[in-house]
């Protein structure tokens, strides 16, 4: 496969001060994911492959790398993470410098415009390639615009037919943009102005209302509601967990302690029911899996009970805008004998999740590792609604 000829620089180095967050804006949560993750998900749905350069603060470089590679999946080789500068212009320069050889078109995009549809990216790329110019997505100004005096008096109204609201991504022929940036004076807050200052033409294509910049708490809530409206009303997920028996460990299963039974080997308490339920919930919400959300290297979850994972998962699911309709679990094991405590397990899990949980158990008639009494399998399904 040939190397991409398109690069997208995602600027994610800005502060979250106006959002009321101490963390950088791109890392502020939005419906269970942060703004950067939403922005990257839309980029990776493009039909044309692109090399994606993410520009972040030094303090969040490792986190950005994990996020970008999780979103990119099998296309992780198309991702580069770089540290930004003190100004947006310096951050963009760092991102453009990291664009690999062979690229002819570069797009520069704000991670804060996290819901920008992919067709906006496509329109920008097509126009850059067709005409060799700088291209910016724009929306017509629909409100009346007035000039005012410093004390607030209206002087006159401006002809809005000549005005437009500018968005990102902004696209350019790569080498022409690099040359323009090399001679640009400091203080540019817009990429197109850097390009235009060097004498290059800049044109517009149609933007999109969804490409608004998340800057204030109102913007963040607007984005949450737009995502909820676009999301299917019902979501399903499945989770499977398998653990070997370990005679040296106590048995925790379904959130309960089972005395006089062999335990289950695992990083935490080995509670296969709880772990399968977590995976089913995360799957239904589109939030990955228990391994990516609560890694074995995270000290908070070393030797943690299943209840800890369930509670943390429930928070993620609710933050993503979902409620649990119900959960069903099937346990496949020769031991322990489950029937006597089934209702107890169901009651505990239902209380923890705030939704009905049903649990059933069966054996494998002596077949496989469960039949040989080597371990236990739990399979869970979850139904969510937004």
Task: Give the pair of three-digit tokens for residue 70.
Answer: 């999780």
Q: How confident is the model at residue 107, as a pLDDT?
A: 98
pLDDT above 70 (res 302): no
160 vs 129, more confident: 129
- As a whole number, mean pLDDT of residues 66-81 equals 94
pLDDT above 90 (res 260): no
d(CA 92, CA 190): 10
Q: What is the pLDDT of residues 203-251, one digit of tens each?
A: 999 999 999 999 999 999 999 989 877 776 789 999 999 999 998 889 9
- As a whole number, mean pLDDT of residues 137-145 equals 89
Q: How confident is the model at residue 297, as a pLDDT?
A: 60
Structure letter (DSSP) for residue 185: P
Q: How confident is the model at residue 103, as a pLDDT?
A: 97
- As a whole number, mean pLDDT of residues 24-42 equals 92
pLDDT above 80 (res 255): yes
Lowest mean pLDDT among 77-91, 92-106, 291-305: 291-305
pLDDT above 90 (res 374): yes
Q: How confident is the model at residue 200, as a pLDDT?
A: 96
pLDDT above 80 (res 277): yes
160 vs 75, more confident: 75
Q: How confident is the model at residue 152, as a pLDDT?
A: 85
- As a whole number, mean pLDDT of residues 4-20 equals 89
Lowest mean pLDDT among 3-7, 161-165, 166-170, 376-380: 161-165
Count CA atoms closer than 13 A to 231's CA, side-chain side.
Answer: 21
175: pLDDT confidence band, cut at 50, 70 and 90?
very high
Q: Are strands 164-166 and 79-83 parallel, antiparallel or unpaired?
A: unpaired
Q: How confident is the model at residue 232, as a pLDDT?
A: 67
Q: Are strands 79-83 and 51-56 parallel, antiparallel or unpaired?
A: parallel
Cα torsion 24, 173, 138, 220 to 10°: value is -20
Q: How confident is the model at residue 23, as a pLDDT?
A: 86
Distance of CA 42 to the CA centre of its chain: 10
Q: How confident is the model at residue 144, as a pLDDT?
A: 85
Q: How confident is the model at residue 258, as a pLDDT?
A: 92
């Amino acid at each position: 496969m040939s190397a991409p000829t398109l690069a997208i620089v995602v600027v994610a180095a800005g502060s979250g001060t106006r959002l009321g967050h101490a963390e950088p804006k791109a890392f502020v949560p939005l419906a269970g994911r942060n703004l950067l993750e939403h922005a990257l998900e839309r980029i990776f749905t493009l039909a044309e492959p692109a090399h994606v350069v993410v520009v972040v603060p030094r303090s969040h470089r490792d986190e950005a790398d994990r996020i970008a590679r999780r979103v990119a999946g099998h296309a992780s080789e198309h991702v580069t993470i770089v540290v930004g500068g003190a100004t947006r212009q310096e951050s963009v320069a760092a991102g453009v410098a990291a664009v690999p050889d062979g690229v002819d078109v570069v797009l520069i995009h704000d991670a804060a415009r996290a819901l920008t549809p992919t067709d906006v990216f496509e329109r920008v790329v097509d126009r850059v390639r067709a005409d060799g110019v700088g291209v910016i997505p724009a929306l017509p100004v629909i409100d009346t615009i007035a000039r005012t005096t410093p004390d607030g008096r209206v002087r006159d109204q401006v002809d809005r037919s000549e005005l437009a609201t500018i968005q990102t991504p902004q696209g350019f022929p790569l080498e022409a943009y690099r040359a323009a940036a090399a001679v640009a004076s400091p203080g540019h807050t817009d990429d197109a102005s850097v390009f235009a200052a060097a004498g290059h033409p800049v044109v517009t294509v149609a933007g999109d209302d969804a490409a608004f910049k998340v800057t204030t708490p109102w913007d963040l809530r607007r984005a949450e509601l737009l995502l909820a409206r676009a999301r299917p009303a019902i979501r399903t997920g499945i989770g499977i967990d398998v653990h070997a028996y370990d005679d040296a460990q106590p048995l925790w299963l379904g959130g309960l302690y089972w005395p006089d039974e062999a335990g289950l080997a695992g990083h935490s308490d080995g509670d296969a029911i709880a772990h399968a339920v977590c995976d089913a919930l995360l799957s239904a919400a589109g939030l990955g899996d228990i391994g990516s959300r609560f890694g074995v290297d995270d000290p908070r979850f070393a030797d943690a009970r299943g209840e800890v994972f369930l509670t943390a998962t429930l928070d993620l699911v609710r933050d993503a805008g979902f409620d649990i309709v119900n959960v069903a679990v099937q346990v496949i094991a020769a031991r322990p004998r489950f029937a006597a405590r089934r209702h107890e397990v169901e009651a505990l899990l239902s209380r923890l999740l705030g939704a009905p949980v049903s649990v059933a158990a069966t054996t494998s008639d002596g077949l496989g590792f469960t039949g040989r009494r080597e371990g236990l399998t739990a399979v869970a399904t979850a139904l969510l609604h937004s």
